Amino acid sequence: MRKIILGASLLLAAAGIATTQLATASDHDDGETDSKARALNLTDHFAFKSPASPDQLSLIMYLNPRSLPGRQYFLSTNARYEFHVTRQASKTAPPTGADDIMFRFEAGAPDGNGVQPITMTMLKNGEEVGRHTGSSTTFLDSKNETITTNTAQIGGASMRYFVGQRQDSFHFDVVRFFQVRAFLAQRLFGGAGGKGDATAALADNCRGDKFLANLQQGGVAANEAGGVSDGDVINLFNPPSCAPDFTKNLNVTAIVLNVPIAALQANSETVFDTWSTISVPE
């Protein structure tokens, strides 16, 4: 019996995992716990038509957030990393959580160079269609853009996949986020009877702009940096010009799969629900 401990969805929110013992949605970085090591921390899930080949669906799973630069990390040899796909009749069709297709990735122990053997298995309606054994890309090779692209022929379709570390593409100004959250909570729900606290204040943003600058005495000229607006007079969050990035210079481990859309179809469907999970044996 396996226990799903993490889940992330693009169009379908944690469907199909309600009967497991423990299941939680991904929030990019929910930290390490006694029951969930780094390699089991699922952060993000992406699905889109490949810009280079529109007949291909790209599925990407990020895990192991806040990976330190220059350090090699590995997939767990005890886990299954899985992409789930449900065929849908239309964009407005209700989610079902059906595992019409699943792509499972399992890793073996790394060799002396830090390369892990990777087995990708494709399943349709729970039945194995085929499998392929490839290899991961080491941190140094990924840094040098010497990428190992594995090509698999399964069920008459050609698929490509990559497993390795990449720079975290997530951008998050975590300090300002908590400042704004505390301010809004106090302003809207603080004060007597929880009806809001009109005296709640928010510090100037990193550019030196005041909250609601155009409504303050003196307007933009007195309350925006240099007296010139950057186009945002609300100033809740820090502007891109100076917002600190919580994930700057940190990495994630990525599992990337390109699969022909035709290989996912049963009756020429063009809409799919997709999500990712990581599971370990109980």
Specify the pTM.
0.79
Quote the pLDDT of residue 172. Answer: 87
DSSP secondary structure, 114-182, as one string: SPPEEEEEEEETTEEEEEEEEE-B-HHHHHTT----EEEEETTEEEEEEEEEEE------HHHHHHHHH
The Cα–Cα gap between 93 and 158 comes to 29
In a domain, 154, yes or no: yes
Nearest to 220 by CA among 210, 242, 207: 210
In a domain, 8, yes or no: yes
The Cα–Cα gap between 236 and 125 comes to 47
Quote the pLDDT of residue 162. Answer: 98
Quote the pLDDT of residue 248. Answer: 87
Residues 110 and 212 in one domain: no
Residues 67 and 123 in one domain: yes
Residues 44 and 93 in one domain: yes
Residues 68 and 204 in one domain: no
Residues 142 and 17 in one domain: yes
In a domain, 122, yes or no: yes
Q: Dihedral through CA 87, CA 92, CA 94, CA 100, nearest 10?
A: 0
Cβ atoms within 10 Å of 114's Cβ, excluding its own: 15
Quote the pLDDT of residue 27. Answer: 63
Residues of the chain with pLDDT under 50: 5-22
In a domain, 217, yes or no: yes
- Let me know if 94 is exposed, middle or buried by CB neighbors in 10 A (0-12, 13-18, 19+): exposed
Q: Confirm if 139 and 72 have CB atoms less than 8 A apart.
A: yes
Residues 59 and 188 in one domain: no
Quote the pLDDT of residue 169. Answer: 84
Residue whose entry in the numeric block shows the structure tokens 């079902």 = 96
Residues 189 and 91 in one domain: no
In a domain, 163, yes or no: yes
In a domain, 58, yes or no: yes
Quote the pLDDT of residue 8. Answer: 46
Which range marks the domain in which residue 205 is found? 174-227
The Cα–Cα gap between 73 and 64 comes to 8
In a domain, 199, yes or no: yes
Q: Confirm if 74 and 39 have CB atoms less than 8 A apart.
A: yes
Residues 56 and 97 in one domain: yes
Quote the pLDDT of residue 34. Answer: 65
Residues 96 and 205 in one domain: no
Residues 53 and 101 in one domain: yes
Which pLDDT tens digit goes with each residue over 116-172?
999 999 999 999 999 999 999 999 999 999 999 999 999 999 999 999 999 988 888
In a domain, 99, yes or no: yes
Residues 71 and 97 in one domain: yes
Residues 258 and 216 in one domain: no
The total of structural domains in the chain comes to 2
Stretch (H or E) spanning 85: strand 80-88
Q: Confirm if 214 and 233 have CB atoms less than 8 A apart.
A: yes
